[in-house]
Amino acid sequence: MSLQLARAMRRKMTDAEMRLWFRLRPLRRDGLAFRRQAPVGRYILDFECRPAKLGIELDGVRHTDADAQAYDAERTAWFEMRGYQILRFWNQDVLQQTDNVVDHIIKVAASRLPSST
């Protein structure tokens, strides 16, 4: 079920998700392979760099609600127990400060890649 849901979500990306995807996708040639709407266990990450065990979540207004924040914390804990680091960005930050967001993602992802030595 999560695979079908992920496929549907890829077809209905938000403006922030589209903008970030067009910046992350070309990084594949630099060794940072990102997937969008990536099923991982029982959850779907907005973006995942599996080699770095890095998840990226983009949050909109709905994430200001206390219930949503509790759910987000539960998800983050689940991923962290499996060795992932989760980065969260507000949609507005992605849209208005794209370069800063992408630079931060690249820095964190590169630092988490297994060394080739």
Look-up: residue for tokens 């609600």?
65
Report the percent of the chain where pLDDT is more than 70: 86
Centroid of chain to Cα 54: 7
3-state secondary structure at position 31: coil
Mean pLDDT of the chain: 88
pLDDT of residue 46: 95
- Range with top average pLDDT, 2-6, 41-45, 67-71, 86-90: 86-90
Kindly report, residue by residue over 5-51, the tens digit of the pLDDT.
445 545 578 999 999 999 999 998 788 999 999 999 999 999 999 99
* Relative orientation angle of helices 15-24 and 98-112, to the nearest 10 degrees: 50
Q: Which domains does the chain have, with CATH numbers?
A: 2-8+34-112 (3.40.960.10)
pLDDT of residue 1: 47
pLDDT of residue 6: 45
Q: How confident is the model at residue 68 (pLDDT cuts 50, 70, 90)?
A: confident
What's the pTM?
Answer: 0.85
Res 116 pLDDT > 70? no
